[in-house]
Amino acid sequence: VSKPGATPRSTLRQVASHAGVHPATVSRALNPETRQLVNADTLRRVLAAVRDLDYRTNEIARSLRTHRSFTVGVVIPDITNPLFPRLVRGLEDGLDAVGYTSLVAYTDDLPEREEERIRRLQQRGVDGFILATARHKDPTLEALAAEGVAVVLINRRTASDAIPSVTVDDRGGTRDAVRHLIELGHRRIAHVGAPSRLSTARARLEGFRAAMREAGLKTDAGAMTPANAVTQAEGQRLGRLALQRDPALTAIVAANDLMALGCYDAIAEAGLRCPGDVSVIGFNDMPFADRFDPPLTTVRFDHYGMGHAAAGMLVRRLRTEEATPSASHLRLETKLVIRSSTGPAPPRRG
Amino acid sequence: VSKPGATPRSTLRQVASHAGVHPATVSRALNPETRQLVNADTLRRVLAAVRDLDYRTNEIARSLRTHRSFTVGVVIPDITNPLFPRLVRGLEDGLDAVGYTSLVAYTDDLPEREEERIRRLQQRGVDGFILATARHKDPTLEALAAEGVAVVLINRRTASDAIPSVTVDDRGGTRDAVRHLIELGHRRIAHVGAPSRLSTARARLEGFRAAMREAGLKTDAGAMTPANAVTQAEGQRLGRLALQRDPALTAIVAANDLMALGCYDAIAEAGLRCPGDVSVIGFNDMPFADRFDPPLTTVRFDHYGMGHAAAGMLVRRLRTEEATPSASHLRLETKLVIRSSTGPAPPRRG
DNA sequence: CTGAAAGCGCTTACAG
DNA sequence: CTGAAAGCGCTTACAG
């Protein structure tokens, strides 16, 4: 912030001469950890000078000197995905409360973009990373963590459990969804899944299978073609496919809310109604899911809390001096929120 | 990124000795602007050394030296407000394309928080600001800009036109909304407005008044109590008030989509239906407004484009060496998107 | 075309 | 308790 016209900020050196002390003394006076080393009267003089000159530490200079920037890189697929605003807010509130600032980057789930973003954030000197872009097999992230860089994974995790993470009980949440459908009398249930490179997709599929198996129901493998992306369009495509494969289908469990919305479209397209003919359940409870037509039954978890927890985990890691503390994994609870996209299985179709 | 266990990054000095040249030469070789000063063979050697050592510039050090961080501060009320994800994405894509990184901060529309955030971003050495938090009277921002700091305002602007801005044609958009209602036969129309400290609220109210006046309609001042916040809850409170004041009301123009949603609730609460009894129009065309029940008629503008344009404007400002270039103001077009929350005025109520 | 020097604004052992 | 010195990793006039 010192362009041609900008008023130059005052420096520590200026504060020192204004207060009649050495710059080192000003530095000590201003750092809470060393403040008690300085004489009360000197401290007073320094503080007065700081006030007079409206001095504020140049964090760039401090970072260069201390090798700590109090900055963390946050890497997410896309802030436009309705899952992320709350999550990012939780993250930043958590970081902010302890003096960290976040630099956020978007990857659109493109691995090359991700690498490039991580590299750039490293050049900017971030102290660590929070990543929401993990793939099931992810050598890049494993390497990053192995290098000793502080990393915590969020929402998605890698196959190995070497990197700390905050995730959701994807398996349990989806199992609850299927059970609810079964209680409503549904027997022909399809899963509209996310790309299998994502841990969330795998766990949700597992939960689906487990619940079906436990009810003695067959899951048609063909009715579970995985998506190429977690989008509404893919949800529509897969929903359409599922409806074609099994015209007697009465319910769909989608891997997330966006895909559930796509299923709404596929159902309408087929001349059917939700929940009259086909029930739909999503995952995430994205903002305004209660305002959809029909209001969406979905698996809720605390997006904000997830971000907040990840921030806490990273900060703790940043503070411990251990080279490689053992990775902790936090798994958040889910809660099935029953709204109006699910209903009893229609007698003639079920 | 150099914690206890982290592999230390190589430095320019190391690259230099590896290549057998002076550090200054490496610096010149790596900077596109000075690269042509270095001998082709030397350049090759430097590049090889960079590759061998996996060298990457330490941006912190560079920033300290050059007084440019290629970083910009983005200050918004709350990323959780559905208007912002796309806007921020446009902003960051625009900035990113020209090598800038953004640091984003949230203020929750709290002035003290805003000042504190701006200060912190300044300490982090941002080259300029993009601010979505302007108030109609905003001495803080005026002062910031007057100091010579590069600032561009987005979505909202201040009373003076001293600070460059990218906004929407709030007035015209709202006028179009009212006209549409009038064409549908509505005569008793209320405005559910946002807080008057916001330029958007003022311009939208103006547009409302202008369209009513031009149709020879009276606007009941009492039916336009301004809100304390731009939230769904405030929309509901004000919608309820409007309905109580004029039980014969047949339409509401809300200052934004969130408030329109609140009006849906107020209407339902009163035992009325939308659009059967009361039509509602929002502003913004937030994501999923088309999936609401009923799908919301609203005034659309290009959120992403707004962010992108603001990024371009700031970067241009950062590149010109003028101390105070004249402030440009870009005003984006709006488009009324007619969906199902508006219908003909009901005969008995109209 | 390249090197040597100075310095951006801080912090932190090291003396005293 | 305070000062003087060195240095974090770069860039950029200034010489040559």
Which region, left, alpha or beta, applies to residue B148 given φ > 0 means left and ψ of -120 to 50 means alpha?
Answer: left
Which residue type does B299 have? V
Closest-approach residue (CA) in chain B for A303: B80
Do the Cβ atoms of A293 and B288 come within 8 Å?
Answer: no
| Whether the predicted pLDDT of A101 surpasses 80 | yes
Q: In angstroms, rounded to a whole number, what is the distance separating the alpha carbons of residues A165 and A194?
A: 20
How confident is the model at residue B164, as a pLDDT?
95
Å from B59 (CA) to D8 (C1')?
A: 13
Residue type for B265, please?
D
Indicate if the pLDDT at residue A348 is higher than 80.
no
CB A276 within 8 A of CB A308: no
Nearest partner of A317 among A133, A164, A198, A120, judged by Cα? A164
User: Is B78 within 8 Å of B106 (Cβ atoms)?
Assistant: yes
Residue B223 has what pLDDT?
57
pLDDT at B8: 76
B32 Cβ contact partners less than 8 Å away, ≥ 6 residues apart: none
Q: Would you say residue A83 has pLDDT above 90?
A: yes
Contact B79 A88 (CB under 8 A): yes
3-state secondary structure chain B: CCCCCCCCCCCHHHHHHHHCCCHHHHHHHHCCCCHHHCCHHHHHHHHHHHHHHCCCCCHHHHHHHHCCCCEEEEEECCCCCCCHHHHHHHHHHHHHHCCCEEEEEECCCCHHHHHHHHHHHHHCCCCEEEECCCCCCCHHHHHHHHCCCEEEEECCCCCCCCCCEEEECHHHHHHHHHHHHHHCCCCCEEEECCCCCCHHHHHHHHHHHHHHHHCCCCCCHHHHCCCCCCCHHHHHHHHHHHHHHCCCCCEEEECCHHHHHHHHHHHHHCCCCCCCCCEEEEEECCCCHHHECCCCEEEECCHHHHHHHHHHHHHHHHHCCCCCCCCCEEEECCEEECCCCCCCCCCCCC
Q: Is the CB of A65 under 7 A from strand C?
A: yes
Spacing of B11 CA from C2 C1' in Å? 20
User: Which of B2, B3, B114 should be substituted to probe chain A, the one whose Cβ sees the most A Cβ atoms within 10 Å?
Assistant: B3
Residue A272 vs residues A24, A88, A344, A349: alpha-carbon distances, Å? 75, 37, 15, 11
A63-92: average pLDDT: 96
Distance of CA B213 to the CA centre of its chain: 31
Residue A214 has what DSSP assignment? H
pLDDT digits over B197-219, tens only? 999 999 999 999 999 999 999 88
Nucleotide nearest to A65 in CA–C1' terms: D8
Contacts of B101 in chain A (CB under 8 A): 103, 105, 120, 124
Q: When comparing pLDDT for B242 and B221, which is higher?
A: B242
Q: What is the pLDDT of residue A206?
A: 95
pLDDT of residue B1: 40
Nearest CA among B84, B110, B146, B115 for reference residue B310: B84
Residue A323 has pLDDT above 90, yes or no: no
- pLDDT at residue B236, as a whole number: 97
Question: Can you tell me the distance from the alpha carbon of A106 to that of A16, in angstroms, rounded to the nearest whole number?
Answer: 43
Nearest beta carbon to residue B5 from set A5, A105, A148: A148
Q: Do B79 and A57 touch (CB under 8 A)?
A: no
- Residue A88, pLDDT above cutoff 70: yes
Query: Looking only at Cα atoms, what is the longest distance across chain A?
Result: 90
Amino acid identity, residue B122?
Q
**pLDDT band at A225, cuts 50/70/90?**
confident
Chain A nearest C-alpha distance from B215 (Å): 34
Q: Residue A64 CA to C13 C1' — how many Å? A: 17
Which residue in the set A5, A89, A293 is minimally distant from B293, CB to CB? A293
Contact B89 A106 (CB under 8 A): yes
- DSSP state, A222? G
> Residue A244 in contact with residue A272, Cβ under 8 Å?
no
Length A181 CA → C6 C1' (Å)? 74
pLDDT computed for residue B55 by the predictor:
96
pLDDT at B68: 95
Cα distance between residue A6 and residue A324, in whole Å = 44
SS3 state at A279: strand
A45 Cβ nearer than 7 Å to chain D strand: no
Query: Is the CB of B60 less than 8 angstroms away from the CB of A57?
Result: no
What pLDDT does A222 receive? 55
Cβ-defined contact of A59 to B123 (cutoff 8 Å): yes
Two tokens, residue B113: 């928080």
pLDDT at A221 over 90: no
For B321, the closest of A4, A122, A147 (CB atoms) is A4
What percent of chain B is predicted at pLDDT more than 70? 95
Are the beta carbons of A150 and B78 separated by less than 8 Å? Answer: no
pLDDT of residue B134: 96
Are B207 and B178 within 8 A, CB to CB? Answer: yes
- The alpha-carbon gap from A39 to the nearest alpha carbon of chain B, in Å, equals 27
**SS3 readout for A109-143:** CCHHHHHHHHHHHHHCCCCEEEECCCCCCCHHHHH
Spanning CA of B24 to C1' of D14, the rounded length in angstroms is: 13
Kindly determine whether the C-beta of residue B13 is less than 7 Å away from any atom of nucleic acid strand C: no
How long, in residues, is chain B?
350
Structure confidence at residue B6 (pLDDT)? 65
What does the pLDDT look like over B39-92, one tens digit per residue?
999 999 999 999 999 999 999 999 999 999 999 999 999 999 999 999 999 999
A27: helix, strand or coil: helix
B24 Cβ contacts chain D strand, under 7 Å: yes
Nucleotide nearest B15 (Cα, C1'): D9
* Residue B297 and residue B282 in contact, taking contact as beta carbons nearer than 8 Å: yes
Buried b (16+ CB within 10 A) or exposed e, A32-66: eeeeeebeeebbebbbebbeebebeebbbbbbbee
pLDDT tens digits for range A179-219: 999 999 999 999 999 999 999 999 999 999 999 999 999 88
Pick from A314, A321, A319: nearest CA to A102: A314
Give the number of other Cβ atoms within 10 Å of residue A214's Cβ.
12
Q: What is the pLDDT of residues B255-291, one digit of tens each?
A: 999 999 999 999 999 999 999 999 999 999 999 999 9
Chain B window 68-127: residues with CB closer than 7 Å to nucleic chain C are none
- Give backbone dihedrals phi and psi of B74, rounded to 5 degrees, phi first: -115, 120
pLDDT value at position B350?
42
Residue A48 pairs in a beta bridge with none
- Is the shortest CB-to-strand distance from A23 to strand C under 7 Å? yes
CB within 7 A of strand D (chain B, 268-287): none
* Option in A104, A291, A318 nearest B261 (CB): A291
- For chain A, what is the mean pLDDT? 93
Nearest residue of chain B to residue A320 (CA atoms): B4
A·B CB contacts under 8 A: 161
CB proximity A61–strand C (7 Å threshold): yes
**Chain A contact set for B4 (CB, 8 A):** 148, 321-323
* The predicted structure's pLDDT at residue B323: 56
| Cα maximum dimension of chain B | 91
User: What are the pLDDT digits (tens) for B84-136?
Assistant: 999 999 999 999 999 999 999 999 999 999 999 999 999 999 999 999 999 99
Contact B300, B284 (CB under 8 A): yes
Nearest to B324 among A5, A120, A148 (CB): A5
Rounded percentage of chain A residues whose pLDDT exceeds 70: 95
- pLDDT mean over A138-163: 93
Task: Calculate the average pLDDT of chain B.
Answer: 93
Q: What global pTM score does this model have? A: 0.93
Q: 3-class DSSP state for residue A252?
A: strand
Question: Phi and psi at residue A113, in whole multiples of 5°?
Answer: -60, -40
Distance A10 CA to D6 C1' (A): 23
Q: Which residue is nearest to nucleotide C11 (CA to C1')?
A: A65
| Per-residue pLDDT at B347 | 84
- Chain D bases near protein Cβ (<7 Å): 1-5, 7-13
| Nucleotide nearest B38 (Cα, C1') | C1
* Other beta carbons within 10 Å of B243: 22
What is the mean predicted confidence (pLDDT) over A26-44?
93
Pairing type for strands A71-76 and A101-106 reads: parallel
Which bases of strand C have any atom within 7 Å of the beta carbon of a protein residue?
1-5, 7-13
Residue A208 neighbours by CB under 8 Å, 6+ apart: A174, A175, A178, A191, A193, A219, A224, A253
Q: B226: pLDDT confidence band, cut at 50, 70 and 90? A: confident
Residue B102 · residue B91 · CB < 8 Å:
yes
Interface test with A, best of B54, B60, B63 (most A CBs within 10 A): B60
Closest residue to D9 (CA, C1′): B61
Cβ distance B7 to A127 less than 8 Å, yes or no, reads no
Q: How far is the CA of B127 from the C1' of D13 (A)?
A: 24
